[in-house]
Amino acid sequence: MPQLDTSTWLTTILSMILTLFIVFQLKISKHSYPLKPELKTSSKYQYTNPWDTKWTKIYSPLSLPLPS
């Protein structure tokens, strides 16, 4: 019965790791980062909803009286 030849496994694994490292380095180097990050000025919006000025009460169905 032939034995599994594992003599090339180390070379294969090391070359795979090196290739992955190079590919990731190339992908990262092509990404453009902003030079100086700045805060965005956010203006506060005022929305007027019809229910903002009214007081409303929300009843839970379980808290309503049972019909007789």
Q: What are the extents of the domains in the chain?
A: 6-59
Distance CA 12, CA 24 (A): 18
Q: Enumerate residues 6+ apart whose C-beta is below 8 A from 26.
A: none
pLDDT tens profile 32-47:
877 787 777 766 666 6
Provide the token pair at 3.
């034995």
Question: Per-residue b/e over 2-22, b at no fewer than 16 CB within 10 Å?
Answer: eeeeeeeeeeeeeeeeeeeee
Task: Tell me the pLDDT band of 51, cut-offs 50, 70 and 90.
Answer: low
pLDDT tens profile 6-24:
889 999 999 999 999 999 9
pTM assigned to the model: 0.43
